[in-house]
Amino acid sequence: MQFQRKIFPMSPRKPIYEGKAKQLFEGPEPGTLIQHFKDDATAFNNVKKGTISGKGVLNNRISEFLMLRLQEIGIPTHFIRSLNMREQLVKAVQIIPIEVLVRNVAAGSLCKRFGLEEGKPLGQPLIEYTYKKDALGDPFISEEHAFAFGWATPQEIDEIRMYAFRINDYLSGLFMGVGIRLVDFKLEFGRLFENEREHIVLADEISPDNCRLWDFKTGYKLDKDRFRQDLGEIEDAYREVARRLGVMPQESDSNIIPVAKETKKK
Ligand code: TMP
Ligand code: ASP
């Protein structure tokens, strides 16, 4: 008699939400979610679409690394633990529908809106907010919009601002240590009900999808602007960020992108 291995099919996971670059599934315990990182990339509010091969794996590792470092300095985050190459277990939070943009150097929409030259350092870090609503093109808002529309309270915005500046200070130093200028980035926060209290926690992801990262010496772009602006070598740029942070899935000692080789410390 032929031996037949019985295969127990895994029960399908309940999808909760599908975003442009990530998918959320119901987690194994109440109050948890599985965050799955896709290779899909979009820009200009979904107008430009594509895939960046291996991006999901790299962003999962990069975001895990950065969230853990931020937890170490006391920033509460939704991150619990990594599950596999593309997935992490996170706390289920109620996302505040505001994108928090932190900028150190003029780039992207700031240059367009204010006629600035890309690369101009700002006198001090700048925080801006947009309303997270693709159908409206994520319009820029002031704190007052958030209060008037009931998206966040003044206390919550105070806390978010404080976290955003601390995150900027810390990550600017961390990236500087691996030869990268943290030009700007986007954060999302959520509300977590824990210990009979409501807390603000950092959610979403931090990766080259939502940061501008430039090689310190050459200015070479190591982020999603390579996709937005059709600059090529997109995958290599993401891999280079992972490599410099020491989180490449296959450890590699040498620089990945040729231009970064020029910047290698002698
Ligand atoms: P911006 O210059 O296009 O306003 O973008 C500022 C930063 O925020 C940049 O690092 C990219 C990031 N970002 C996102 O992650 N998602 C978005 O929807 C937008 C508009 C920006
Ligand atoms: N995240 C936005 C989009 O998917 C905008 C961007 O990153 O450029 O379209």
> What is the reported pLDDT for 263?
44
> What is the reported pLDDT for 7?
64
> What is the reported pLDDT for 3?
57
pTM: 0.93
pLDDT > 90: what percent of the chain?
86
Ligand 2: residue whose CA is nearest its atom 9: 45
Structure-model confidence comparison of residues 57 and 256, the more confident one: 57
Q: What are the tens digits of pLDDT across the range 3-42?
A: 566 666 666 899 999 999 999 999 999 999 999 999 999 9
pLDDT band at 255 (very low <50, low <70, confident <90, very high): confident
Domain ranges of the chain: 94-236
Q: Average of pLDDT values for 143-167?
A: 98
Q: What are the tens digits of pLDDT across the range 195-218?
A: 899 999 999 999 999 999 999 999
What does the longest C-alpha to C-alpha distance in the chain come to? Answer: 78
The CA distances from residue 53 to 44, 149, 203, in Å, are 20, 39, 24
- Which ligand 1 atom is nearest residue 130's CA? 20
Distance CA 40, CA 19 (A): 10
Contact, 96 vs 164, CB < 8 A? no
> What is the reported pLDDT for 19?
95
Tokens 């740029």 locate to 237
Residue 116 has pLDDT above 90, yes or no: yes
209 Cα: distance to centroid of ligand 2 (angstroms) = 8
- Which ligand 2 atom is nearest residue 46's CA? 9
pLDDT band at 266 (very low <50, low <70, confident <90, very high): very low
Distance CA 200, CA 223 (A): 27
> What is the reported pLDDT for 248?
87
42 lines ligand 2 (CB under 6 A): yes
Please report which ligand is nearest the Cα atom of 43.
2
Q: Average of pLDDT values for 164-193?
A: 98
Residue 2 has pLDDT above 60, yes or no: no
Q: What is the DSSP string of 199-252?
A: EEEEES--STTSEEEEETTT--B-STHHHHTT-S-HHHHHHHHHHHHT--SS--
Give the class (CATH, top level) of 94-236.
alpha beta
32-37 and 40-43: which strand pairing?
Answer: unpaired
> Residue 228 half-sphere exposure, CB side, CA atoms within 13 Å?
17
